[in-house]
Structure 1
Amino acid sequence: MFDTTIANRTVDLAKRLLVAANQNIRANEKKQSEQLARMMNDAAGKAFTMAMVDETFRSAKPAVQARRWRGLLRDFGLPQYFSWTDRLLLRIASAASIVAPQIVMPLIAARMRADSANVILNGEMDELRKHVRQRISQGFSINLNHLGEAVLGEEEAQNRLRVALDYLKQPEVNYLSVKISAVFSQINLTAYDQTLTAIKDRLRIIYRAAMPEGKFVNLDMEEYRDLRLTLEAFQQVLSEPEFLHYSAGIVLQAYIPDSWNALQELAAWAKERAATGGAKVKVRLVKGANMAMEDVEAELHGWHSAPYRTKAETDANYRRMMEFCVQPEHAAVLRVGVASHNLFDVALALTLREEFGTSDSVEIEMLEGMANHQARVVKEQAGGLLLYAPAVQAKDFQSAMAYLVRRLDENTSPQNFLHDLFGLTPDSDAWHEQERRFREGWEHRRDVASLSRRQLPCVDPNRAAHFMNQPDSDWTQYQTREQLDEAIANWTPALPPPAADLDAALDCAVAAAERWSAESVLQRAEILHHAGQVMQQRRFESIAEMQRTCKKAIAEADAEVSEAIDFARYYAEHYPHYPEVVGKPLGVVVITPPWNFPYAIPCGGVLAALMAGNAVLLKPAPESTDIAWLLVQQLWDAGVPRDVLQFYPCADGETGKRLITDPRVNAVVLTGAYQTARMFQSWRPSLHLFAETSGKNALVITAQADRELAVKDLVRSAFGHAGQKCSAASLAIIEAEVYDDPIFQRQLHDTAASLMVGPATDRTSVVTPVIREPESSLMRALTQLDAGESWLLKPKVSAEDPCLWSPGIRLGVKPGSWFHKTECFGPVLGLMRAENLEQAIAWQNDVDYGLTAGIHTLDESEQVRWRDSVQAGNLYINRPTTGAIVQRQPFGGWKKSSIGPGSKAGGPNYVSLFARWSDASVDVPQAKVEQNYRLAWNEYFSQEHDPSHLTGESNIFRYRPARGVLLRLPSDDPSTIARAKLAAQITGTPLEISVATKEPDADFIARLSSVGSRFEFLRTIGDVNDAVLAAAHQAGLNWIDAPLTANGYVELRFWLREQSITRTLHRYGQIIQAPSDHA
Structure 2
Amino acid sequence: MLGESACTVEDAEEYFNLYMHAIKAIGESADINDCFKSQGVSIKLSSLHSRYEFSQFGNIAEELRAKLLELCHEAKKYNISLCIDAEESERLEMSLVLFEQLRLDESLSEWEGLGLAVQAYQKRALSVLDFVEDVAIRSKHKVMVRLVKGAYWDSEIKRTQELGLIGYPVFTRKSHTDVCYLACAQKLLSKENHFYPCFGTHNAYTFATIIELADKNHPGFEFQRLHGMGKSLYDYAISELATSINCRIYAPVGKHSDLLPYLIRRLLENGANSSFVNQVNDSDVKIEELVSDPLEKVKSLEYEPHPSIPLPRDIFGEERKNSLGMDISDSIAVSQFANDIREFSEKKWQVGPIIDGESFLDSAEFTEVVNPAHLENVIGEVSSATSAHALNALEIAHSAFTKWQNVSAEERAKCLEKAADLLEERMKELIYILIVEAGKILSDAIAEVREAIDFLRYYAMIAKNELNDWKKLSGPTGEDNFIFFEGRGVFLCISPWNFPLAIFIGQVSAALAAGNAVLAKPAEQTPIIAYEAVKILHEAGIPKNVLHLIPGDGWYLGKTLVPDNRISGVAFTGSTQTAQIINRMLASRDGPIVPLIAETGGLNAMIVDSSALLEQVTKDVLISAFRSGGQRCSALRVLFIQEDIAEKQVKMICNAAQELKIGDPIQLSTDIGPIIDKASIDMLTKHTEKISRDEDSNLLFKVPMDTNSYNGYFFPPYIYEIQKISQLKQEVFGPILHIIRFNKSQLNEVISDINNTGYGLTFSLQSRVQSQIALISKKISVGNVYINRNQIGAAVGTQPFGGRGLSGTGPKAGGPNYLQRFSIEKVVSVNTTACGGNIKLACLD
TM range (shorter): 0.7 to 0.9
CA gap 1:202/1:524 in 2 versus in 1, 3 angstroms: farther
Alpha-carbon offset, residue 692 of structure 1: 0.7
Of 760, 766, 779, which aligns to 2:685? 779
In the alignment, does 2:524 pair up with 1:619? Answer: no
Aligned to 2:8: 153
Aligned to 2:261: 402
SS in 2 for 1:490: helix
Of 618, 641, 645, which aligns to 1:738? 645
Q: Deviations over 1:681-718 (max 9, x none)?
A: 34443464221112111011122323322222122111
* 1:222-621 to 2 correspondences below 5 Å: 222-243=87-108, 246-247=111-112, 248-271=114-137, 273-274=138-139, 278-303=140-165, 304-327=167-190, 330-355=191-216, 357-360=217-220, 362-372=221-231, 374-375=233-234, 381-393=243-255, 397-419=256-278, 431-435=287-291, 437=292, 439-441=293-295, 459=313, 464-478=317-331, 480-491=333-344, 492-497=347-352, 498-500=383-385, 501-575=389-463, 576-577=466-467, 579=471, 580-621=482-523
Letter in 2 for 1:324: K
Alpha-carbon offset, residue 574 of structure 1: 1.5
Q: Deviations over 1:564-590 (max 9, x none)?
A: 111101111213335333444222222
SS in 1 for 2:714: coil
Letter in 2 for 1:665: I
Is the contact made by 1:150 and 1:399 (CA closer than 8 Å) also made in structure 2?
A: no
Is the contact made by 1:340 and 1:346 (CA closer than 8 Å) also made in structure 2?
A: yes
Alpha-carbon offset, residue 460 of structure 1: 5.5
CA gap 1:798/1:563 in 2 versus in 1, 3 angstroms: same
Q: Tell me, in whole angstroms, the C-alpha distance in 2 between the residues paired with 1:200 and 1:316.
A: 34
Q: Deviations over 1:614-660 (max 9, x none)?
A: 22222211211122222222222222233322221112353443233
Structure 1: gaps of 5 or more residues: 1-144, 925-1079
Alpha-carbon offset, residue 473 of structure 1: 2.6
Alpha-carbon offset, residue 161 of structure 1: 2.5
Letter in 2 for 1:692: E
Is the contact made by 2:662 and 2:705 (CA closer than 8 Å) also made in structure 1?
A: no
Q: Percent identity?
A: 28
Alpha-carbon offset, residue 761 of structure 1: 2.0
SS in 2 for 1:392: coil
Q: Tell me, in whole angstroms, the C-alpha distance in 2 between the residues paired with 1:384 and 1:875.
A: 52
Of 910, 920, 938, which aligns to 2:818? 910
Of 767, 774, 777, which aligns to 2:672? 767
Of 29, 36, 51, which aligns to 1:172? 29
Q: Tell me, in whole angstroms, the C-alpha distance in 1 between the residues paired with 2:298 and 2:826.
A: 65
Alpha-carbon offset, residue 922 of structure 1: 10
Q: Tell me, in whole angstroms, the C-alpha distance in 1 between the residues paired with 2:546 and 2:60.
A: 46
Letter in 2 for 1:845: N
CA gap 1:487/1:189 in 2 versus in 1, 3 angstroms: farther
Q: Tell me, in whole angstroms, the C-alpha distance in 2 between the residues paired with 1:805 and 1:441.
A: 58
Q: Which moved more, 1:846-855 or 1:471-480?
A: 471-480
SS in 1 for 2:673: coil
Is the contact made by 1:350 and 1:382 (CA closer than 8 Å) also made in structure 2?
A: no
CA gap 1:334/1:751 in 2 versus in 1, 3 angstroms: same
SS in 2 for 1:917: strand
Alpha-carbon offset, residue 295 of structure 1: 3.2
Is the contact made by 2:637 and 2:736 (CA closer than 8 Å) also made in structure 1?
A: yes
Letter in 2 for 1:403: Y
Alpha-carbon offset, residue 775 of structure 1: 4.7
Alpha-carbon offset, residue 450 of structure 1: 12
Aligned to 1:61: none
Letter in 2 for 1:250: L
Q: Tell me, in whole angstroms, the C-alpha distance in 1 between the residues paired with 2:621 and 2:484.
A: 46
CA gap 1:448/1:719 in 2 versus in 1, 3 angstroms: farther
In the alignment, does 2:618 pair up with 1:711? Answer: yes
- CA root-mean-square deviation: 3.2
Alpha-carbon offset, residue 832 of structure 1: 1.4
Q: Tell me, in whole angstroms, the C-alpha distance in 1 between the residues paired with 2:696 and 2:101.
A: 52
Alpha-carbon offset, residue 530 of structure 1: 0.5
Alpha-carbon offset, residue 793 of structure 1: 1.8
Is the contact made by 2:149 and 2:177 (CA closer than 8 Å) also made in structure 1?
A: yes
Is the contact made by 2:4 and 2:44 (CA closer than 8 Å) also made in structure 1?
A: no
Is the contact made by 1:499 and 1:647 (CA closer than 8 Å) also made in structure 2?
A: no
Aligned to 2:371: none
Letter in 1 for 2:48: V
Q: Tell me, in whole angstroms, the C-alpha distance in 2 between the residues paired with 1:790 and 1:155.
A: 23
Letter in 1 for 2:12: A
Q: Deviations over 1:105-127 (max 9, x none)?
A: xxxxxxxxxxxxxxxxxxxxxxx
Alpha-carbon offset, residue 482 of structure 1: 4.1
Is the contact made by 1:890 and 1:904 (CA closer than 8 Å) also made in structure 2?
A: yes
Is the contact made by 1:317 and 1:448 (CA closer than 8 Å) also made in structure 2?
A: no
Q: Tell me, in whole angstroms, the C-alpha distance in 2 between the residues paired with 1:574 and 1:760.
A: 35
Q: Tell me, in whole angstroms, the C-alpha distance in 2 between the residues paired with 1:503 and 1:794.
A: 48
CA gap 1:617/1:461 in 2 versus in 1, 3 angstroms: farther
Is the contact made by 1:494 and 1:627 (CA closer than 8 Å) also made in structure 2?
A: no
Alpha-carbon offset, residue 563 of structure 1: 1.0
Is the contact made by 2:280 and 2:290 (CA closer than 8 Å) also made in structure 1?
A: no
Q: Tell me, in whole angstroms, the C-alpha distance in 1 between the residues paired with 2:541 and 2:104.
A: 54
Letter in 2 for 1:833: R
Alpha-carbon offset, residue 867 of structure 1: 1.9
* 1:752-901 to 2 correspondences below 5 Å: 752-773=657-678, 774-775=680-681, 777-783=683-689, 784-785=691-692, 786-799=694-707, 800-801=709-710, 803-818=713-728, 821-836=729-744, 837-899=747-809
Alpha-carbon offset, residue 666 of structure 1: 2.7
Alpha-carbon offset, residue 849 of structure 1: 0.7
CA gap 1:854/1:457 in 2 versus in 1, 3 angstroms: closer
Alpha-carbon offset, residue 875 of structure 1: 1.3
Is the contact made by 1:735 and 1:840 (CA closer than 8 Å) also made in structure 2?
A: no
Q: Deviations over 1:594-629 (max 9, x none)?
A: 111111000000111111222222221121112222
CA gap 1:797/1:542 in 2 versus in 1, 3 angstroms: same
The TM-score normalised by the length of structure 1 is 0.65
Q: Tell me, in whole angstroms, the C-alpha distance in 2 between the residues paired with 1:218 and 1:482.
A: 30
Q: Tell me, in whole angstroms, the C-alpha distance in 2 between the residues paired with 1:420 and 1:669.
A: 56
Q: Tell me, in whole angstroms, the C-alpha distance in 2 between the residues paired with 1:446 and 1:260.
A: 23
Alpha-carbon offset, residue 813 of structure 1: 3.1
Q: Deviations over 1:352-377 (max 9, x none)?
A: 3343x2233x2222223334455455
- Alignment: residue pair count: 756
Aligned to 1:206: 71
Letter in 2 for 1:434: L
CA gap 1:246/1:884 in 2 versus in 1, 3 angstroms: same
CA gap 1:486/1:511 in 2 versus in 1, 3 angstroms: farther
Q: Deviations over 1:367-411 (max 9, x none)?
A: 233344554555662353322222113xxx133112222333444
Q: Deviations over 1:404-438 (max 9, x none)?
A: 223334443343333355699xxx97554433x2x
Aligned to 1:84: none
Letter in 1 for 2:29: E
Letter in 1 for 2:123: P
Alpha-carbon offset, residue 253 of structure 1: 0.8
